[in-house]
Amino acid sequence: MTTILADSFTAALAKLTNDEQKHAKLTAFDLQTNPDRPGLQMHRIEASKDPNFWSVRVNRDLRIIIHKTGDSVMLAYVDHHDDAYAWAERRRIEAHPRTGALQIVEVRERVEEVTLRAMPPVQPDLPFVVSPPLPAASAPLFTRLSSDEALSIGVPADWVEDVLQASEDHFFTLANHLPQEAAEALLEYAATGVLNKPRAVDSTPITHPDAQRRFRIFEGHEELAAALDQPFEKWAVFLHPSQRTLVERDFSGPVRVVGSAGTGKTIVALHRVVRTLRADPASRVLLTTFSEPLAMALKRKLDVLVADDPRLTERVVVSSFEQAAGELYALMTGRKAYLVSREKLRGILSDTAPTAGTGRYPIRFLLSEWEHVIDAWQIDSAEAYALVPRMGRKNRLGAKQREELWSIFAEVSRQVRAKALMTSADLFTAVMRHFDNRDHKPYSHVVVDEAQDLGVAELRFLKAIVPDRADAMFFAGDIGQRIFQQPFSWKGLGIDVRGRSFTLKVNYRTSHQIRRMADSLLPDNVRDVDGEEDQRKGTVSVFDGVEPVVVIAPTPEEEIISAGTFLKGLVDTGVAPSEIGIFCRSNDEIARAAKVAEAADVPTVSALHAASSSEAVLIGTMHLAKGLEFRAVILIACDEGILPLNARIADVADEFELDEVVATERQLLYVAATRARDHLFISGVSPGSEFLEDLRR
């Protein structure tokens, strides 16, 4: 008998205790292997309007709600006896009359009044709060929609009237009662005025693209066990149709998937890896990102995704850009690459410039020119330096100046080589040159997460280690989250994603209120050097929440009091410490972050050792927040001179670089803020960071 898993079951399972989950899973496995076993004690839910709902006994109190049709059983819900029965009595499962997608529909007549906005949790009383005001009550949002148009996007017939009368004050409450595709289409319409009707598809109700986001068919016991063992990883089982299209489609060249934080770019990248491994038994895939901690997180998620066939992981390597290059370098040469630090380079430049007779160039300019021009583009001669365009650099250099500067940079290169050291760009270039013209490549495919932080040398390296085939390269990233690299032309390096750059618009991770505030830090559209746009306007969050809190305190001590009060309020209302992150701009402010937790009497763990504790608040810098998710995030010490960081401002060499530094500092705050799902607290000491003004608009 075919077993169908509904996302409503995995969500309900996640809310049970560990012991209850264990018993529910065992019963689900028994149901899959022997659905007629008497011990399951099946009973039809007589009070339900859907005659196919049955209850299955887990233990004295727990019940699984199943939906039986023909030769299939759907795991629909699990809860304590009365709550499980009440869930089934208020729902029916049917194909939508217009779209044809299988839906779990709430019976309108059995749902309490939904015209009032649900009261959000009350934020604690805090001094110095300067949060933006709540939006004023609004008129109905969908007065221009017809009943037929509402039906066309998947709104159940008995909910159409509620939709047409909905205002912003209560729409999110109403959206919780609607199928996801209907709620998302209505949110997009409210944000953009465009109603995107689904395309007609030739499918059964269960295989319809919208149905696949909430139902998955399992034939084997192992596959079901893998899905139920990770109830919080719903993305591992259910994909949004826009995500599934990008995972399964064949492309004619390199692909880039962009979108704001929380839209599922990493999900798409991971599923693309699995799709490649399954489709091509000879494939060998590199899944890579900019840091080792993020690579480790990707590895854990990939293991969940292939739990039904763990042998697939034998053909995939998950590592950072630098580690991937280092491992290939060791295979090529038989020795390890030793990298020179930025501070060591600064010291060599400081010593070299005066002895070369060119001490008139500031060290910050020399370091910037080295990092963004000489090393980035691997300039190896005065002739090459004379020809490099220095795209975007405001300091124009004549032939004489470049000749002077090259004498410095040539000596720096000589000293680095003399010490048997390499820069990261040297490492990437060495591997690139080794594989560039070879027929045999170490990987058949490369999938890149956080691709916005690729540099010139990294991109050249990745291109060289895969064959020249249409589906070899797949990139996922957010231009608005670029915090490390200066922009450059991908097309100029032979990576042309024009016509194959796609923007995800549905935000699953971050509440409407947090996303709206964070989006105020960035423009509606972000354009790269090649003219490709990430059109951020129209991105929608699928759930409502509380307004973020912004605090500008008179002193650091009073900031700590406010942040500590907020943190204690979170814990007192049931938010687990492990679901909270406290972040600051740099290591210099870590002590302030620790004092916040101390004021709330909550244990902490460093972001560098997060795996060592599951009962503590995580503390770290904003850079370490990248790729993480929390129910609540506290960002402290957003002071003038700290964000943007004075040390970075002091190192800029020209106006263009100043603009880039400020932009990446702004994007860093955006990255940290969008780690939060439900609660966000941002604070600084008066007058506060200039970015806090943007959050108040």
Per residue in 362-375, pLDDT (tens digit) is: 888 888 889 888 99
DSSP 14-79: HTS-HHHHHHHHHHHHHHHH-TT-GGG--EE-TTSSSTTEEEEE-SSSEEEEEEEETTEEEEEEEE
Does 455 map to a domain?
A: yes
pLDDT at 611 over 60: no
Start-end of H helices in 551-676: 556-572, 590-599, 622-625, 646-650, 655-673
- The single-letter DSSP state of residue 372 is I
Phi, psi of 682 (to 5 degrees): -125, 130
Instruction: State the Cα–Cα distance between residues 228 and 545, nearest whole angstrom.
Output: 28
What pLDDT, on the 0 to 100 scale, is given for residue 188?
79
CA distances (Å), origin 552, targets 561, 590, 593, 690: 12, 18, 16, 12
Does 306 map to a domain?
A: yes
Does 566 map to a domain?
A: yes
For residue range 495-506, what is the model confidence (pLDDT) as tens digits?
A: 999 889 998 888
For strands 549-553 and 604-606, give the pairing: unpaired
pLDDT band at 262 (very low <50, low <70, confident <90, very high): confident
Q: Are residues 598 and 488 in the same domain?
A: no
What pLDDT, on the 0 to 100 scale, is given for residue 357?
67
CATH code of the domain containing 263: 3.40.50.300
SS3 1: coil
CA distances (Å), origin 566, targets 88, 429, 616: 38, 49, 16
pLDDT at 590 over 90: yes
Question: Could you tell me if residue 70 is left (phi over 0), alpha (psi between -120 and 50 degrees) or otherwise beta?
Answer: left
Are 315 and 277 in contact, with CB atoms under 8 Å apart? yes
Residues with Cβ within 8 Å of 149's Cβ and at least 6 positions away in sequence, in order, are 195, 197
What pLDDT, on the 0 to 100 scale, is given for residue 636?
96
Q: Are residues 468 and 614 in the same domain?
A: no
Q: Give the sign of the dihedral formed by CA 474, CA 478, CA 483, CA 486.
A: positive
Q: Are residues 389 and 442 in the same domain?
A: no
Domain containing 610: what range?
546-695
* Of the candidates 4, 195, 207, 185, the residue with the CA atom closest to the CA atom of residue 95: 207
What pLDDT, on the 0 to 100 scale, is given for residue 122?
52
Instruction: State the Cα–Cα distance between residues 93 and 206, nearest whole angstrom.
Output: 11
Phi, psi of 272 (to 5 degrees): -65, -40
pLDDT band at 361 (very low <50, low <70, confident <90, very high): confident
The mean per-residue pLDDT over the stretch 407-421 comes to 94
Q: Give the sign of the dihedral formed by CA 518, CA 521, CA 524, CA 530.
A: negative
Instruction: State the Cα–Cα distance between residues 334 and 630, nearest whole angstrom.
Output: 42
Between 141 and 409, name the one with better pLDDT: 409
Q: Are residues 432 and 580 in the same domain?
A: no
Q: Are residues 353 and 317 in the same domain?
A: no
pLDDT at 185 over 60: yes
What pLDDT, on the 0 to 100 scale, is given for residue 697?
59
pLDDT band at 552 (very low <50, low <70, confident <90, very high): very high
The mean per-residue pLDDT over the stretch 498-526 comes to 84
Q: What share of the chain is helix, strand, coil (3-state, %, to 5)?
A: 45, 15, 40
What pLDDT, on the 0 to 100 scale, is given for residue 389?
67
| Number of Cβ within a 10 Å radius of residue 678 | 21
Does 90 map to a domain?
A: no
Q: What percent of the chain has pLDDT over 90?
A: 51
DSSP 419-459: TT-B-HHHHHHHHHHHHTT-S--S-SEEEEESGGG--HHHH
What is the identity of the amino acid at 395?
Answer: N
Does 505 map to a domain?
A: yes
* Mean model confidence pLDDT for the chain: 86
Q: Give the sign of the dihedral formed by CA 345, CA 347, CA 353, CA 355.
A: negative
Q: What number of H helices and E strands is found in the chain?
A: 26, 24
What is the identity of the amino acid at 389?
Answer: P
Q: Are residues 670 and 564 in the same domain?
A: yes
pLDDT at 480 over 80: no
DSSP 156-186: -GGGHHHHHH-BTTTHHHHHTTS-HHHHHHH
The mean per-residue pLDDT over the stretch 602-614 comes to 71
What pLDDT, on the 0 to 100 scale, is given for residue 409?
94
Examine the fold and report which residue of 509, 534, 562 is the final residue of a domain before the chain moves on.
Answer: 509
Q: Are residues 316 and 406 in the same domain?
A: no
Among 24-33, 73-82, 142-151, 552-561, name the one with the lowest average pLDDT: 24-33
Q: What percent of the chain has pLDDT over 70?
A: 86
How many domains does the chain contain in total?
3
What pLDDT, on the 0 to 100 scale, is given for residue 113?
58
Q: Which of 581-595, 617-631, 648-662 has the highest mean pLDDT?
A: 581-595
Examine the fold and report which residue of 480, 509, 538 is the final residue of a domain before the chain moves on.
Answer: 509
HSE (CB half, 13 Å, CA atoms) of 287? Answer: 29
Among 261-270, 324-333, 387-396, 659-668, name the one with the lowest average pLDDT: 387-396
The mean per-residue pLDDT over the stretch 122-132 comes to 61
Structure tokens at 233: 């990883």
State the virtual CA torsion across 187, 191, 197, 199 in degrees, nearest 10.
Answer: -90
Residues with Cβ within 8 Å of 478's Cβ and at least 6 positions away in sequence, in order, are 258, 259, 260, 261, 265, 452, 534
Q: Are residues 471 and 437 in the same domain?
A: yes
For residue range 653-693, what is the model confidence (pLDDT) as tens digits?
A: 666 667 778 888 998 999 999 999 999 999 999 999 999 98
Question: Could you tell me if residue 372 is left (phi over 0), alpha (psi between -120 and 50 degrees) or otherwise beta?
Answer: alpha
Give residue 269's Cα distance to chain centre.
Answer: 11
What pLDDT, on the 0 to 100 scale, is given for residue 614?
63
Q: Are residues 609 and 501 in the same domain?
A: no
Q: Are residues 459 and 478 in the same domain?
A: yes
pLDDT at 608 over 50: yes
Q: What is the pTM of this model?
A: 0.76
pLDDT at 167 over 90: no
What pLDDT, on the 0 to 100 scale, is given for residue 526?
65
Among 44-48, 98-102, 169-173, 457-461, name the one with the lowest average pLDDT: 169-173
Q: Are residues 322 and 301 in the same domain?
A: yes
Does 173 map to a domain?
A: no
For residue range 293-346, what is the model confidence (pLDDT) as tens digits?
A: 889 989 988 988 887 788 999 999 999 999 999 999 999 999 999 999 989 999
Does 246 map to a domain?
A: yes
pLDDT at 484 over 70: no
Q: Are residues 453 and 328 in the same domain?
A: yes
The mean per-residue pLDDT over the stretch 601-606 comes to 91
What pLDDT, on the 0 to 100 scale, is given for residue 596?
96
For residue range 193-217, what is the model confidence (pLDDT) as tens digits?
A: 788 888 788 889 999 989 988 898 8
Structure tokens at 686: 């008066």
Are 438 and 464 in contact, with CB atoms under 8 Å apart? no
Does 347 map to a domain?
A: yes
What pLDDT, on the 0 to 100 scale, is given for residue 116?
44
Examine the fold and report which residue of 369, 396, 421 is the final residue of a domain before the chain moves on.
Answer: 421
Tokens 């009359």 -> residue: 97
Start-end of H helices in 252-319: 265-279, 292-305
pLDDT at 106 over 70: yes
For residue range 29-54, what is the model confidence (pLDDT) as tens digits?
A: 888 877 777 667 889 999 999 999 99
